[in-house]
Amino acid sequence: MSVIRVALPLPLRQHFDYLLSSGQQIQIGCRVRVPFGKRELIGVAWQLDPPDHYPIPQLKPVISVIDADPVLDENLRQLLTFAAEYYHHPLGEVLTAALPALLREGKDLADYQQYAWQLTTAGTSATAADFKRSARQLALWQALQQGPVAAAELYGSHPQTAIKQLEAKGLIEKDVLPLAPFSERGLKQPALQLTADQALAVTAINHAAGRFQSLLLEGVTGSGKTEVYLQAIAPLLDAGRQVLVIVPEIGLTPQTLSRFQSRFQAPVLCWHSNLTNTERLHCWQHTHAGSAAIVIGTRSALFLPFASLGLIIIDEEHDQSLKQQDGFRYHARDLAIKRAAIEQCPILLGSATPSLESLYNCQQQRFVHLSLHNRAAGQAMPRYQLVDLKQQVLQFGLASQTLQYIKQQLQQGMQVMLFLNRRGFAPALSCQECGWLTECHRCSAFTTYHKQSRQLVCHHCGAIKAVPRQCGQCGSARLAPVGQGTEQLEENLQQLFPDIAITRLDRDTTRRKGALASALDSINQSGPRLILGTQMLAKGHHFPFVTLVVIVDVDGALYSSDFRAPEQLGQLLTQVAGRAGRGSNPGTVLLQTHYPEHVLLQDIIHNGYASFARSALLERQHTRLPPYQHLALFRAEALQSAHCQQWLTELADLAKTLPGLELLGPLSCPMEKRAGKYRWQLQLYSNQRPLLHQALNTLLIALQSWPLSRQLKWQLDVDPIDLS
């Protein structure tokens, strides 16, 4: 008998050893079913015969070995081990992020074989004349003449009635689809003519093929970064190498997928949380077998098991969505760089507004900096104009000057986009008698009024309650909305422009499957239209008919306690503004503000994001903030605020005895209460990353034994993005 160390999906920072009987064969990286207390768990074999294993008499035997071949290869195991150590997270929970749900549940891969439809001998000898009465059957027969077609692909492009009819005639049959490295090569559509900057970028990326190198592609909005991606990918596909493209949001996946599929003959698959468990497993299988040439996905696509990975692309690398904000708090961009190093392939980070961390890495010569200075089709960059709201009479939150601009553009048959980063009808309801406001009883926040659903919703904890009939303080029935959200703005614009089509893009309108794709299709039709929404509008969409962008309320983010707020606002303004003037007509951006003289606004407008970012980096250096120092954050949550403060104070007292650390806190979080719990945080800074991680290891060992650690919920966030 031998001992096997197993990684189990548990929030425990320890190893678990089991006995493997002499008749059981296993490879590292295979799944096993093991007993754990009164339960059975699915784990992954991580080490055979570890020298420091527990005494054999104390060990329980493995119940069964599930896989003959590893589901996690050596490179992925190396990445996951690094991730668990760097983010100080239990290895078993890190594995949960790397495996599809059906594999975590212990399902047998053989039960999820994929099938393809193909012509029978009779179908091969048939002629087009045999289908003259059914155009659908003819189209299906013609499609299968090219060879077997995956069932999922066929069901998506041909009616099932036609499939059943040809099967009944004995002309087609279904068989197991063999998964093998993709063989399709070449382009469906010719590549576009590159600008000089684009050509230099493609050459630099191609030159890095076959070795690890990090490249940052900084290109103004509309400069053709996607075309650079496409042309850099083409030679890799010809060489049989796979490519991973990570996008920050599900909303970007359909349009990116469509563009890649229309360019390449090779198979392009997608990966995101809206897929079913079976669809995700099929994508995993194709990637593992090498039959998927390109995978376009959100952050967890980073952990897919590529057979021959040749390039990783992180689109919109600055986006906060690339950072997981709960559980295993990894940053997909940073881990992707580590994976590229392990796989010995280049990684390309693309953005019009690069993160300060990436620009800093360029300054330190860790990244190669590539620039696209102009828009690909030669269009001018949008023209900024500040609209001073002081002493102005607003109509539905819009200045008269703004409304005049909107009317002019609509009369010319153009589209206008309005950005308001608040969904719902209004941020709160207020009593007109005493000033009482609707608040969430579980959070330090107001509840947002959603008029269409007649609900008050907390956008922080998700609590929902009915709209009250009267004031909770004085009993008055005079309740009215305070402020404006996208739902209210849409209603008001319908009054102002009754004959103009309006498309609203926010989380409320795009929940239904296919709703986002349908909305984007309507926007891409020419003709006057009003488009309004939240941050979803800033995520790299190409709206060719938008000539005017209105940022309704700039002021909300100008004054924040978060040191990252100026960077994030600069990125948001530049990205939203970049939706204007991408077609043949010039673009204008109106920024409504009470503070037109604000330094950040003046810098962005007159000097652009590149100049602003370099000034922001200099400011970070002077204030000794990331990326010039390394940051980790402990956050505590409890029903009693004093417990959080006491626990973090003990942690701070211990941290003060460790070398190379600077502390900020303990202090209450900007959102002091969320989901019924009080929240405090302690920030740890160090200018030497190894010292920071040594300190975190010491602190984590110590706090495990503290009684108070079991009376509250705590998290450690390494390289945090959200300090709220």
Output the known binding site for Zn(2+).
431, 434, 440, 443, 458, 461, 471, 474
CA pair distance 439, 447, nearest whole angstrom: 5
**Amino acid occupying residue 601:** L
Per the CB < 8 A criterion, the answer to whether 163 and 172 are in contact is yes
CA pair distance 99, 579, nearest whole angstrom: 37
Q: Which two tokens stand for residue 177?
A: 């689809």
Binding-site residues, in ranges, read 431, 434, 440, 443, 458, 461, 471, 474
Angle made by CA atoms 515, 532, 591, in degrees to the nearest 5: 150
CA pair distance 633, 696, nearest whole angstrom: 10
Angle made by CA atoms 217, 218, 224, in degrees to the nearest 5: 80
Q: Which residue has the tokens 């999922």?
A: 152
Q: Is the dihedral of CA 553, 558, 560, 563 positive or negative?
A: positive
CA pair distance 158, 165, nearest whole angstrom: 12
CA pair distance 43, 328, nearest whole angstrom: 17
CA pair distance 413, 422, nearest whole angstrom: 28
CA pair distance 673, 460, nearest whole angstrom: 10
Q: Which two tokens stand for residue 146?
A: 């090219």
Q: Which residue has the tokens 């195991």?
A: 77
In three-state secondary structure terms, 35 is: strand
Q: Which of 216, 603, 168 is nearest to 384 (CA)?
A: 603
CA pair distance 665, 155, nearest whole angstrom: 58
CA pair distance 513, 423, nearest whole angstrom: 19
Longest Cα–Cα distance of the chain, Å, equals: 87
Per the CB < 8 A criterion, the answer to whether 88 and 716 are in contact is yes
**Amino acid occupying residue 145:** Q
Q: Which residue has the tokens 């360029």?
A: 362
120 — alpha (psi -120 to 50), left (phi > 0) or beta? beta
- Radius of gyration for the alpha carbons in the chain, expressed in angstroms and rounded: 28
Per the CB < 8 A criterion, the answer to whether 396 and 243 are in contact is no
| Strand runs labelled E in 278-424 | 294-297, 309-315, 346-351, 367-372, 383-388, 415-419
In total, the chain counts a number of residues equal to 724
CA pair distance 187, 697, nearest whole angstrom: 51
Determine how β-strand 39-48 pairs with β-strand 31-36.
antiparallel
